[in-house]
Structure 1
Amino acid sequence: MTKSTKQWYASWFDTPYYHILYKDRDYTEAQGFMDNLTNYLNIPEGGKILDLACGKGRHSVYLNSLGYDVTGVDLSEKSINHAKQFENETLKFNVHDMSKPYPDTFDAVFNLFTSFGYFEDENCNLETIKAIKSELNDFGFGVIDFMNVNYIIENLVAEDVKTVEGIDFHQKRSVKDGYIIKDISFEADGEHFEFQERVKAFTLKDFETLFEKAGVYLLDVFGDFKLHKFHSKTSERLIMIFK
């Protein structure tokens, strides 16, 4: 594989193999999560939502189908080009770096499914939260849905092979230097590929420190997509509501 000068998420997310590996994600569960979230936040009918790191736009499309005015943004040009086919008067997609403020304000800003903590420059994590703060209107809420690192580390599968569409994805997982790392290698289309996913192992306490520095207030914390109470050892997710 040719070494890429891009940060890992910019190159890996732009490959078709990323979408093949994760094609079996439970979108019914994800849609239920968005139903629960929008109801809990009581977002007004026709309210504006910014979907940060929207990928190919599947969740933005669903939120739009619920009646919201949705803007989906992502760093991946290929993902945004794919998502643009779904655009309408109340659904727009743009290439955007989420660590920089988007030039509009919203009733809610969603950062879903562990789309945070990728940056090599750790200051960008703080800048992202500051950006979210600037993107909220007076009544808006920010939402970061992250993995619960305590649960993930406790249940880490060191190595496995996942076969999808005839491709054997060899996955090795580790915790190193404050990051949860997944090394992925596979053969496809006559070539050998190697990619690495690196996500900062933020705990709730780490987020609280970032929120304090960014001047936002943590309002609620949930531990799963059904918005049950967060338990630091057993919850699968860390879902934070702030403003």
Structure 2
Amino acid sequence: MELAQPNWFTSWFDTPYYHILYKDRNDIEAREFMRNLVGFLKLPQGSKILDLACGKGRHSIFLNELGFDVTGVDLSENSISYAKKFENPTLRFREHCMCEPVNEQFDAVFNLFTSFGYFDHEEDNLRSIQAIKKEILPGGYGVIDFMNVKKVIKNLVPSEVKTVKGIDFNISRRVQNGFILKDINFFDEEEEFSYTEKVKALTLEGFHAYFEKAGINLLHTFGNYQLEEFNEHTSDRLILVFN
């Protein structure tokens, strides 16, 4: 089944500007999270992991270095093309939309760094949850690492300018119709560009509703990459472990 219409991320994630703007993401923090997570789940080396919406593969590559058999999938052609440079017999990447199940099952399915809730249509978010359920082997785990929406909204920075590689990214943020939106405007080589990131403002209650419809059992909730207890007022993240 095709998505009803083109989505914002289809074009934005495939531009070089997306990777320029976010080039300083914290790889040390990401590695610590992966170590903590696979340790908590007690995943033995050689376990099969699906990195769902893997981007350029930074989590996939490190999980593979830890000894896991990893498949990374993403909708961005450019991101997958880059990630494929790192492929080996136990690390592979391919283009795929997360709202359709991968025709394979895994010991763990990870959806990391707020890579959920991008779709305009509610049914596509539910289909993504249902797809994850189909991708988990019996006795396996699913993990969604999302922002803590209540804290994000409370501390929303309305506007700022970030200068990266000589480009001034004018960024404004707002909450509208149940989504958190980030407008990104900039000039480069005498051309004006404008993109809007749009993520559904999903709370723990919202995920509960999806999980109930999909027949998923929520096992644990954590509030940061050290896997400390989730608090809706103070936690930076909402990390869900389920099967």
TM range (shorter): over 0.9
Please name the residue that 1:213 is paired with. Answer: 213
**Deviations along 1:54-105, whole A, 9 cap, x unmatched?**
0111110110000000000000111111111111000010100100110111
Question: Distance in 1 between the 2:89 and 2:139 partners?
Answer: 23
How far does residue 45 in structure 1 lie from its aligned partner after superposition?
1.3
Map of 1:222-233 to 2, 5 A cutoff? 222-233=222-233
Say if 2:187 is the partner of 1:187: yes
Please name the residue that 2:123 is paired with. Answer: 123
Question: Distance in 1 between the 2:77 and 2:25 partners?
Answer: 22
How far does residue 27 in structure 1 lie from its aligned partner after superposition?
0.8
Output the amino acid matched with 1:120: D
Q: What's the TM-score once normalised by structure 1's chain length?
A: 0.97
Question: Distance in 1 between the 2:22 and 2:216 partners?
Answer: 33
Secondary structure in 1 matching 2:39: helix
Output the amino acid matched with 1:98: M
Secondary structure in 1 matching 2:31: helix
Map of 1:1-243 to 2, 5 A cutoff? 6-243=6-243
Q: What's the TM-score once normalised by structure 2's chain length?
A: 0.97
How many residues matched?
239
- Superposition misfits of 4+ residues, deviation over 3 angstroms: none
Secondary structure in 2 matching 1:81: helix
Question: Distance in 2 between the 1:58 and 1:239 partners?
Answer: 18
**Deviations along 1:4-58, whole A, 9 cap, x unmatched?**
x831101000000000100111110011000000000011210000000001111
**Deviations along 1:100-141, whole A, 9 cap, x unmatched?**
110111010000000000001110111111111100111110
Question: Distance in 2 between the 1:180 and 1:27 partners?
Answer: 25
Question: Distance in 2 between the 1:53 and 1:204 partners?
Answer: 21
Give the share of equivalent positions with the same residue, in percent. 59
Secondary structure in 1 matching 2:161: strand
Secondary structure in 2 matching 1:45: coil
Question: Distance in 1 between the 2:99 and 2:44 partners?
Answer: 26
How far does residue 189 in structure 1 lie from its aligned partner after superposition?
2.1
Output the amino acid matched with 1:212: E
CA RMSD of aligned residues (A): 0.8
Secondary structure in 2 matching 1:241: strand
Question: Distance in 1 between the 2:189 and 2:27 partners?
Answer: 28
Secondary structure in 1 matching 2:216: coil
Secondary structure in 2 matching 1:133: helix
Question: Distance in 1 between the 2:30 and 2:151 partners?
Answer: 19
Question: Distance in 1 between the 2:127 and 2:7 partners?
Answer: 17
